[in-house]
Structure 1
Amino acid sequence: MKMTKRSLLSQLGPGLMYAGAAVGVSHLVQSTKAGGMFGFDLILAILIIHLVKYPFFEFGPRYTAATGRNILHGYKQSGSWGVWIYIAITLMSMLITQSAVTVVTAGLLINIFHLESLGGLDPQRLAVLISLGLLILCSILLATGRYRLLDKLVKIIILILSITSVLAVTMLIFNNPGYYKTAEVHFSFNETAHLIFLATFLGWMPAPIDISVWHSIWAESNNESSGETTDMQAALFDFRVGFFGTAFLAICFLLLGGLVMYGSGETFSPDGTVFAGQLMDLYQKSLGSWAYPIVAVAAFTTMFSTTPTCLDAYPRTLSASSELLFPEMMNHKNQKRHYLFWLIFTVAGTVLILFFFLTSMQAMVKVATIIAFVVGPVLAGLNTLAMLGKSVPAYARPGKVMWVWCWLSLVIMVACSIAYLLL
């Protein structure tokens, strides 16, 4: 591959794929719920967690821009144990995460098209069956279209969601300046339930750390597809657009929850279909009923983009990990076959969880986000070791300020995980 310097705008791709994976349950569900429960109290938490996680998310695309390879190669340089740890963490969380994302998407689909009474099925069973249909559809799209189709889809979806979300918040603030209600419920570090919610909120805010690996692999795939290696400036620009864009959208969703739900006496339902209806109501109350079709498309396509994005990332990263550990058995030429194997594995495992272990959307999200919160420091440490590896040229390594930022953030993440486990 040759190294070329294309226009920055043309490089927007992996960073928006990152945004497509991040802006899903963490934003539509968790951020909105945070606003509904505590008003504007947790806006500062959103800003802080983005600052804490920033270095480790940046290391993914930075490593690929510096070396032309995905960051799992950096894990391997420290020893095979790094790749094995990544595989273990992925296998531990992937099926629960995919299940949570898919069932929320199904809930939105049921609510938007009023499918509640379809076939006289129990609502939960209906959500499971529609989730199965979504998984099959996404699998077909990924098996045939792969990266480029997903890349184009996500760009359109993120644009639609951003416009409608900003418009909703703006109209709420300016058309109803006194709409925000006061209430006695505020976030308290003395309340165990509040701390547990904070852990679930921050675990996926803006996203689990393992998405930095996804981003790195998407960047590598983008290089292979284009035949060109993206330079550092363009790679970081692409990443920052996605990263800071997701931070802005998280605050928008929290404001929506706070402006409409906080102090109203109404709480968000743990049922995915009911929650979807409440989410649609947030937009209708701020924009009016005329905006429902636009908002419905934006919300559904956002979650729909998250479903195949995650469904693509898990097989892609597990395939890349397997190739590193067993290069003789799994050479790069057979990458598509390995990808399809892990794709089938992910779909089958997700279906089993949805059919036999699904109790509620809230339970699924809580388990997945807590896992991400606890293991986050491990992946952050692996990313840091990769950037310290010999394969990264001196010019491409972070400066002194970034290293201080990195180590301070790592200490904070470790301390928070230990505190949560003790709690």
Structure 2
Amino acid sequence: MASAQERNIWKTLGPGILFASTAIGVSHLVQSTQAGANYGYSLLWAVIIANVLKYPFFEYGSRYANATGTSIIDGYKKLGKPFIWGYFIITIGSMFFVSAAVGKVTTGFMQNLFGISSTYTAMAIIFTVCGAILISGKYKVLDGLIKIIGTVLVVSTLFAFIMTLIHGRSGDTGLFELSWFPEGDNIVFLIALMGWMPTAVDLSAWNSLWTVERIKQTGYQPKLKETLLDFRIGYWASALLSICFVTLGAFLMFGTGQKFSPGMAGFANDVISLYTAAIGDWSYLIIASAAFSIMFGTCIAIFDGYGRALTRVTTLLFQKNDSDDKPERKYQIGVAITVIGSFIVIALFENNADGFKFLVNFAQTLSFIIAPFVAWANFKLVSKNQIGDKSPGLTMKVLSIAGIIFLSGFSVYYLFLLISPFFS
């Protein structure tokens, strides 16, 4: 029989796996694989640094929720109106475009797996199923589903990674031959890779929302070390898998002259072909199913996260009483708004790739600019005068300061690149 400690840990597990599922989709399966395929190991430093220096600010979401029993969004309101309004603006400004981008990638993997030619049909199925699961089942169904998907993801990726190492490299170009800091148009890819690795910093609030919901679901108030263990398992598992995806791209495509297809369905087939090249053609259906499951898990977690964030931030801003009098109904409305709005965005820009890219870039820019402020707010909210003896130790404080400096410099540099063409 399991000990009481083991049962308590099992009751706590969930939010960290949800975080990993959110992160692994686009930033790992898409961007990390492309980083390896196009640059070998030259950008591996960027993946590692981003994961390490952003860690504190994601962990603080879980830490704050454990210490206070409320989400860190509630903490933003305590810091003052500019912070809670800032979070509201970035949520509204990014939710439809980010969800739409994830939905498009998921659609491509579904089309590849089931041979669906119509993008709209695949997209309608995915969005409807995700919305129905969340609206009807809420967190309990999501938690169970993500644990299954997460297990499939980890096993399939690690197996492909090991088989890739055994298989050896396909190209003959040195893995570190290219410049570690690309120039020209390639710098945009580096910025996107670091900015969304493992995901945007403003999504750190989702950890706190999921932690609070997990406590409500199980009726168990975990110790701080249990909550942090859950988050660390998810976070560092996603960090390890990002390196695996870089390796898959580097070993199997870099230096071969092969390029990813521009269309989503073609891109999905190319990614799956990387796995089968290492494992064998017999595994195609298994890998295609696993890859689609990865993206489906990311898609449903994105809808849930934005739905919860929208619900909480609007409650804090526009309701006199901060408590949720009808939490289930508000959550259902939040999810419905996210799903329908994202579908409309894709439908409006399906035949206008440049327009859709502009909207995604807008959301990305918004996240980049606000990232240092979110990081600073999270750091301030876990100080001793806010959460007492559950505040982080010296090592985490030093890492936090380094992370804030990194994000600030990163944002300033990104803004410089945006405005420099107007002065040339």
TM-score after normalising by structure 1: 0.91
1:380 aligns with 2:392: no
Point out where structure 2 has 5 or more consecutive residues left out of the alignment: 418-424
Give the corresponding residue for 2:157.
165
Point out where structure 1 has 5 or more consecutive residues left out of the alignment: 117-125
When structure 1 is superposed on structure 2, of 151-160 and 129-138 the one drifting more is 129-138
What amino acid maps onto 2:408 in structure 1?
Answer: V
What amino acid maps onto 1:415 in structure 2?
Answer: G
Give the corresponding residue for 1:343.
335
Give the corresponding residue for 1:258.
250
| Cα RMSD after superposing both structures | 2.1
- Pick from 409, 415, 420 the counterpart of residue 415 of structure 1: 409
Rate the CA distance shift 1:347–1:66 in 2: closer, same or farther, 3 A: same
SS of equivalent residue, structure 2 residue 141 = helix
Identical aligned residues as a percent: 34
SS of equivalent residue, structure 2 residue 178 = coil
Rate the CA distance shift 1:39–1:371 in 2: closer, same or farther, 3 A: farther
The 5 A counterparts of 1:226-245 are 226-245=218-237
What amino acid maps onto 2:38 in structure 1?
Answer: M
SS of equivalent residue, structure 1 residue 179 = coil
1:111 aligns with 2:112: yes
Rate the CA distance shift 1:256–1:370 in 2: closer, same or farther, 3 A: farther
Kindly indicate whether the alpha-carbon contact (under 8 Å) linking 1:199 and 1:370 is maintained by their aligned counterparts in 2.
Answer: no
The 5 A counterparts of 1:190-201 are 191-201=183-193
Give the corresponding residue for 2:420.
none
- Pick from 150, 155, 172 the counterpart of residue 181 of structure 1: 172
Rate the CA distance shift 1:147–1:274 in 2: closer, same or farther, 3 A: same
Kindly indicate whether the alpha-carbon contact (under 8 Å) linking 1:37 and 1:185 is maintained by their aligned counterparts in 2.
Answer: no
Kindly indicate whether the alpha-carbon contact (under 8 Å) linking 1:67 and 1:391 is maintained by their aligned counterparts in 2.
Answer: no
1:308 aligns with 2:300: yes
1:224 aligns with 2:207: no
Partners of 1:33 and 1:291 lie apart in 2 by 22
- Pick from 391, 398, 405 the counterpart of residue 392 of structure 2: 398
Deviation at 1:369, TM superposition (A): 4.2
Deviation at 1:162, TM superposition (A): 1.1
1:152 aligns with 2:151: no
When structure 1 is superposed on structure 2, of 261-270 and 29-38 the one drifting more is 261-270
Corresponding residue pairs, total: 409
Deviation at 1:201, TM superposition (A): 0.9
Give the corresponding residue for 1:356.
348
Deviation at 1:188, TM superposition (A): 4.9
Kindly indicate whether the alpha-carbon contact (under 8 Å) linking 2:64 and 2:382 is maintained by their aligned counterparts in 1.
Answer: yes
Give the corresponding residue for 1:211.
203
Kindly indicate whether the alpha-carbon contact (under 8 Å) linking 2:308 and 2:331 is maintained by their aligned counterparts in 1.
Answer: yes
Deviation at 1:327, TM superposition (A): 3.6
Kindly indicate whether the alpha-carbon contact (under 8 Å) linking 1:105 and 1:307 is maintained by their aligned counterparts in 2.
Answer: yes
Kindly indicate whether the alpha-carbon contact (under 8 Å) linking 2:33 and 2:249 is maintained by their aligned counterparts in 1.
Answer: yes
Deviation at 1:389, TM superposition (A): 7.2
The 5 A counterparts of 1:251-330 are 251-328=243-320
Kindly indicate whether the alpha-carbon contact (under 8 Å) linking 2:384 and 2:391 is maintained by their aligned counterparts in 1.
Answer: no
Kindly indicate whether the alpha-carbon contact (under 8 Å) linking 1:60 and 1:215 is maintained by their aligned counterparts in 2.
Answer: yes
Kindly indicate whether the alpha-carbon contact (under 8 Å) linking 1:74 and 1:389 is maintained by their aligned counterparts in 2.
Answer: no
Rate the CA distance shift 1:258–1:370 in 2: closer, same or farther, 3 A: farther
